Each structure stands twice: as structure tokens, then as C-alpha cells.
A and B are shown apart, each in its own frame.
Chain A
Amino acid sequence: MITINSLKKAYEETTVLDIPELTISQSQCFGLVGNNGAGKTTLLRLILDLIRATTGEVQIEGENVSKGESWKKITGAYLDDHMLLGYLTPDEYFDVLRKVHKMSDADLKLHNERFENFFNGEILGQKKYIRDLSKGNKKRVGISAAFFGNPQLVLLDEPFESLDPSSQIRLKKIVEKEKEEKSTTFMISSHDLDHVTEICERVVLLEKGLIIQDISGTREDKFEALNIYFSG
């Protein structure tokens, strides 16, 4: 799904990310962990071609993300609330996305039904602009926006942060269901080792822009390995 070749991002002298090689296969949930400044968000931004790579390239389904744009049709993402249109209500925003993704009203209804539980009645039909929503509710809008148009690849930056416990659990269920039914690929960065080891079969540990561990195996194995690193 994603192939990364000698990807490097540097600001003047400091290199913030340096990944010689990384391949993420279809229907895999790929977790990204690391302390602040490790380069998690930078990697996600590079994959989405939001910032320019200093050297190297990212390919989605064989297409260099900085050259073509057809990968955008199969990719959904939510990194931060800049990606939303704060002056719309959630319903209006979803309607804009519906048009962008060329979906019908029925498609939108179906989509909203999938997220009904996750929204918990606090998103749809509200007379509030997105900019006035609480952090957690903005996140719910953004996450469900990332699933518009049935993407084959979904990138989420710290999706569990600022969500309440029930929503965190519901989000995990959504991710697992998508993976199972549509073999969607996920790339999730998180500080929550519990969640990330539970839903991701592969977890990569970043430190100062470098991949220092690439962990697969049972949940316990991953959790153990990460625990040793982070307590050290």
C-alpha cells in the first residue's frame, strides 16, 4: 500500500525524519509510537504530501504522492482541526464532503449510520459551528470525515487523544470492522500504548526521526517491548 524510499525531511541543518525504507502492506494496521518530536506527524504529513520531502519519495499504490494525485481518491486522513472548515456545522461540513467525494444522499446516510454510535448524538443535528465544538467533538467530526468515500488507506494522528473512554472503545471497533470488511489499511500514531498495541498488528517506534524498532507479534509482546523502551 505505502512504500517509502530513502525519505528525509530536514529544516535547514536539523534532520527531523530519516527513513531509508518502509513498506506497509494492504489491510494492515500500522501503529506509530514515539515521544514528542520523534517525527510521527511529520511522517504522516509527508505521506499526505502536505510538506515537501527534502529527499526521497513516498508511494501510495505505486504512485509518487508528490507527482500524481489519484492516490487522494483512496486515502482519508485526519491530522488536526485545520483540516476542518470551522465555520460550518458538522452537517454542512459532511454535505460538502459528500459533494467532494461525489456521493449520493443515500451514501451519506449510510456513512452517518456507521458512525451513529461513535457520534453518540452529539454531532449530527447540532446547531453549532465546528469551531465552537469541544476538542473531543471536533475530533469525532474529523475522524468520521477521514472515512468518507470508503478509503482504502486511513491516516489518523493521535485519534484517541481527547476522546472520552466510550468513544475510544467505539473507535477501536470501527477500525477493526473496517479492516475486516473492507480490508482497509490504517496508519495510526498514538501515545496510548494500550490501544495501539491492541488494534495494530505492527508497531513502529520512532526516535528523533529514525525507526529504532519495528515490532510485530502478539499484543503482549508488543506491549512488553514498548514498555521497556518507554520506561528506560
Chain B
Amino acid sequence: MTFLQFIQLQFKSKIRSVSLGRDLIAGIFLLIVILLFLGYVVLISVSLPFIIRSFFAIDDPVGFINSYILFFFATEFLYRFFLQKLPVAELQHYLHLPIPRWKIVHFLLQRSFISLLNFIAILLLVPFTIVEVAGHYGALSAISWLGTIVFISWTVHWITLVFKRGIGDRVIGYMIMLSVYLLSFGAQYYGWYNIGEWVKPFFDLAITSPLPIGMAFLLFTGSYFGAFKYYRNRAYEEEIGDKGKNFVESSQIDFLSRFGTAGAFADMEWKLILRHKKSRSYLYISALFLLYALTFYPTFDLAESAVDRHFSLFVGLFITGSFLYNYGQFNLSWNSASFDYFLVQKNGIESIIQGKAILFIAISMICYLLSLPYVYFGLEILFIHTAAFIFNIGVGIPLLTFISFWKPKPMDINKSAMFNYEGIGAAQFLMVIPMIAIPYIIYLPFALTMGYESGLTVLTLFGLIGIILYRQITRFLINRLYKKRYGISSSFRQEI
């Protein structure tokens, strides 16, 4: 087998993948996102020489870039860490065939190299190189300078592959990444020490000497063979998949058992969340969403500005419902592998809906409590978050459950959540609109005419009505799921 044949197979597997092949909307959305992203990169790249000279008023743009290039690599490491992965699961399709193991590992590594991420450095810097470097120092210098940067950017590719495999999906990995990044930026910003300046001479030298590009090339090939060695030694079936597979931690949440069958389901769902890669990521993302308000509240003047107060409702809804929106958007899809089990179970449908509701309420409550310290930025936040929380509990949860019955898609919850469009259909794109629009439709007429307090009161009232009618609403949702069960279960079995 040749590399070309391997790539052809990989290409086939991409275009025939269950999630993309069957869902045109998700495919188109992905394409738009990629094009948009590329558009931004090109835009930045073309205007980069201009920005540096005119906007930052820098006389020596190349020197400027050289002293900040380290942060570009740090940023690259960050997004590569989240987006990049080596498809090691592919190994099991080939290990028993008469293809040498080293060859398969080379294939996999080289295939991972064919990625848009590896063109970003080139795309971003080519216009700058032509205008600034080639224009002032000549073509050879330009090649040497750009080549040095590109080879180092590609070295980051291989390092990330090894780092990510070594650290895995553990929280510690995310922590290390964030702290390294923040620390280096913070240090630069506050002027404690400037690591950007330390590496600047190396890139300055690239303009006059071929030594840096040679060293960068050696780094690139060296890290490739390092990564190769690392993966070659681990190319066994038992290394594929989650590392902590055999390690089971029992984490019964006692208070859930008070709610009978529904509580047992909530507890089961909690275990599902903790024990699968995708759901765990969504839990982390929900936690990160709690920090989302930090980008708004410090700049808001809640006591004076009505617009800021109106916008804070959006933040409040998002924060108290961060788990609800993130995890809940897939709602039944999380159970797509075992949905038939609930259908044959006595009261299975009831316990799915009630169990999920209990879990959503419990976690929204935790999010709400964790959001209270934001009151530091103004007492108004307490009212806003409380109203948003009660509304999310009373109206948000049933509304989300109702929408999620609309054509749910099956998904494999063992896969990573990054750039994974499994389970996403039209409902997931449109879901957030009513979740945000409806509270505003209720809130704004009152807030604009009688002040934001009355808007919040009405919103709270709606939430309370929803809580009071909990039984009736749940019954309605259960009946609705009963009606739709055949369609949903056959879509989960991928029969459509």
C-alpha cells in the first residue's frame, strides 16, 4: 500500500462519514465556518504590514514581528492542542494486514500533517514577507525568514501531537495550557520579563544568515521522528481509546436517590456525563462559560445604563443556563446508544424526561450560585441572575426538551467534542434563538416602559408559573415523546 492509496481511503472515510454524509446542513455550516475563518486570516495577512506601520506606528516591522513571534507559536500551540489529533483508532483496521507497523504510523503522522492549521503561518505571513522582508532585504532573506517561522510552526504540530497524547483528556492538560499562555502574556504585558525579546535575535539572524532556517528544519525533522518513535512504540490495540478505561470511580450522588426512578435516571445520566469524553468536554465548557460574564460586567455601568442592564439579561441567561444550553442541546442524543432500552423499560420515557429535568435543575442551581460573586459588579446582577435562573428552570428546561424532540441525531459520545458535528442537526442551530428570544420578548415590553425591575418581575412570574405547572408540562412532554418514539428510535438506529 502506498501513501496515496492511504490518503484516498482517508478521504473516502471523511466524505462517507455518518455524521457529515447524512446531514447536509452541518456540512454546509462547517464549510461556511472554514471559509469565514480563512477569509479572516487572509484579511489580517494582507493588512498586516499596513497595521504595523500605521496603526502601531512601528518603524521596524520585521523587528516588531520578531519580538512577538513567540506568542504566535504559543497561540498556535493552544489552538492546535484543542483542534489537532492523531486518528490512532485507524490503526486497528490495518495492524493485521501485511503492512509494516512503522509504515502505518508514518502514514497516520503524515496524514495528520495535511491540515489547514499547517497553512496558517504561511497564509498569515506571505504578504508581509513580500512587502517588508523581500522589499528591504531581498528575496533570499525573505525565504530564509519565512522558512524559519514555518518550520517552527510545523515543529509545534508534531510536539502538540505527542503532548496531547501524553496528557490526554485530563483537566490538568487544559490547566497547564492556559496557565503557560496567560503567564507569558501577562509577563509581557506587565513588563516583568519579556521572553519575546529573548528569542528575537534568532529571527533577526534569519534575515542575514541561513543558520536559523537550517536549525528550524532540523527541529522540524527531529520532532517528526520523535513523534514517530513515540507513536511507533504505542501502536498497539490496547493503547487505542481512553486511557483510564479500566478505572471506574463510583460517584453516587446521594441526594438524587430521593427522587425515585427519575432520580436513579438522573444519577445514571451524571455517570454518563463523567465517563464519556464528549459529555465531559461539554461539562468543562459549561464551567468555562461561567467566566463569560467577565468579558462584559467589568465594562458595564449597571446603575446608570439601561442598555447595559438589558444586555445583562442575556449574560444572566447564558450563565445560569450554561449547562442547559451546552449539554441540553443534544438532550436525547446523549442516550442514542441506549434509547431502545428506555423504550422497553416500564416508565422509561417518564424517567428520561424527569431525570434529565432533575439534573438540569441541580446543575443550573450550581451555576446560579457560582454566578453570585458577580454581584461585586453591581447589585442589579443579583436580580437579573435570579430572574434568569427562575425563568430557565420554569420555562427554559421544558422549552429546550420540547425542541430537542425535533429530529434528534445519533452520536458517539466516546469521541472528542472538538470539531465533532455528530448529533448536530437543524434543531441545534435554531435552538438557541427561542431560548434567548423568548425571554427577551417577555422582558423588553415591560422593561422599556416601566423599568427593568418590572421586566424581570414578569420574567420571574413566567418562570414561577412554569414551576407550578411542572407536572402538567412534564406530562405533555412525556406524551409528546411517546408519539415520536418510533421515529426517534429508528433515527438512533440509523435506519433513516
Alpha-carbon gap, A48 to B96, bound state (A): 7
What is the bound-complex CA distance between A129 and B17, given in angstroms? Answer: 11
Instruction: Assess the A85–B13 pair: CB atoms within 8 A.
Output: yes
Docked CA distance A11–B238 (Å): 11
Judge whether B301 is part of the interface by a CB distance below 8 angstroms. Answer: no
Give, as a whole number of angstroms, the nearest-CB distance from A126 to chain B: 15
* Contact of A52 with B238 at beta-carbon distance under 8 Å, contacts A85-B9, A87-B13, A96-B9 already known: yes
Residues facing A in B88-108 (CB within 8 A) are 92-93, 95-101
Residue A2 at the chain B interface, CB threshold 8 Å: no
In the complex, which residue of chain B has the Cβ closest to the Cβ of A151?
B98
Residue in A12, A69, A82, A149 whose beta carbon sits within 8 Å of that of B93 in the complex: A82
A96 to B4, CA, bound (A): 12
Nearest-Cβ distance from residue A125 to partner chain B, whole angstroms: 18
Q: How distant is B496 from chain A, measured CB to nearest CB, in Å? A: 12
User: Which chain B residues lie closer than 8 Å to A79 at the CB level?
Assistant: 96
Q: A84–B99 contact, CB under 8 A?
A: no
Interface string of B3-14 (1 = CB under 8 A from A): 001000100110
B294-313 with Cβ < 8 A to chain A:
none
A67 nearest CB across to chain B (Å) = 11
Contact residues in B for A87 (Cβ distance below 8 Å): 12-13, 16-17
Which residues from chain B contact A96 at a C-beta distance below 8 Å?
1, 5, 9
- Which of A12, A50, A88 lies in contact with B237, CB distance below 8 A? A50
**Which residues of B in the span 227-270 have a Cβ within 8 Å of any Cβ on A?**
236-238, 246
Contact of A149 among B13, B98, B238 (CB under 8 A): B98
Residues of B within 8 A of A73 (CB): 98
The residue of chain B having its C-beta at the shortest distance from the C-beta of A131 within the complex is B18
A202 to chain B, nearest CB (A): 24
Q: Mark A83-100, 1 if CB is under 8 A from B, else 0.
A: 111011000100011011
Cβ–Cβ contact A77 & B98, under 8 A: no
User: Residues of A contacting B96 with CB < 8 Å?
Assistant: 48, 50, 72, 75, 77, 79, 83
Q: Which of B13, B17, B92, B97 contacts A100 (CB 8 A)?
A: B97
What does the 1/0 interface line of B102-129 toward A look like (CB < 8 Å)? 0000000000000000000000000000
Contact A69 B100 (CB under 8 A): yes
Chain A residues with Cβ below 8 Å from B237 are 45, 50-51
Please report the C-alpha to C-alpha distance between residue A143 and residue B18 in the assembled complex, in whole angstroms: 25
Query: A87-B16, A87-B17 given as contacts; is B1 within 8 A of A100 (CB)?
Result: yes
Q: How many residues of B contact A (CB 8 A)?
A: 21
Which residues of A in the span 57-111 have a Cβ within 8 Å of any Cβ on B?
69, 72-73, 75, 77, 79, 82-85, 87-88, 92, 96-97, 99-101
Cβ-defined contact, A11 with B95, below 8 A:
no
Task: Report the bound CA distance from A101 to B57 in whole Å.
Answer: 64
Please measure, in the bound complex, the distance between the C-alpha atom of A94 and the C-alpha atom of B137, giving whole angstroms: 57
Q: Give chain A interface residues in 40-54, CB to chain B under 8 Å.
A: 45, 48-52
In the complex, A23→B98 CA distance in Å? 23
Q: Give every chain B residue within 8 A of A45 (Cβ-Cβ).
A: 237
Question: Which of B18, B98, B236 lies in contact with A72, CB distance below 8 A?
Answer: B98
Q: A45-B237, A52-B238, A99-B5 are in contact. Are A129 and B16 (CB under 8 A)?
A: yes
Who on chain A is nearest to B238 by CB? Answer: A51
The answer on a CB contact under 8 Å between B16 and A82 is no
Q: Would A84 and B93 be within 8 Å (CB), given that A100-B98, A129-B16 are in contact?
A: yes
Within 8 A of B (CB), among A9-52: 11-12, 45, 48-52
Contacts of B238 in A (CB 8 A): 51-52
Decide: A97 near B5, CB < 8 A? Known: A52-B238, A87-B13: no
A85 to B96, CA, bound (A): 13
Which 9 pairs across A and B sit closest by C-beta, in order of nearness? A72-B98, A87-B16, A50-B237, A82-B92, A87-B13, A73-B98, A51-B238, A77-B96, A100-B1
**B-to-A contact residues, CB < 8 Å:** 1, 5, 9, 12-13, 16-18, 92-93, 95-101, 236-238, 246
> 5 A-B residue contacts at CB 8 Å?
A75-B96, A75-B98, A83-B96, A100-B1, A100-B98
Where the two chains meet, the residues of A that have a C-beta atom closer than 8 Å to any C-beta of B are: 11-12, 45, 48-52, 69, 72-73, 75, 77, 79, 82-85, 87-88, 92, 96-97, 99-101, 129, 131, 149
Please name 11 further chain A to chain B contacts, defined as beta carbons within 8 Å, in addition to the given A48-B96, A85-B9, A87-B17, sorted by A numbering: A50-B96, A51-B238, A69-B98, A69-B100, A69-B101, A72-B100, A87-B12, A87-B16, A88-B9, A96-B1, A99-B1
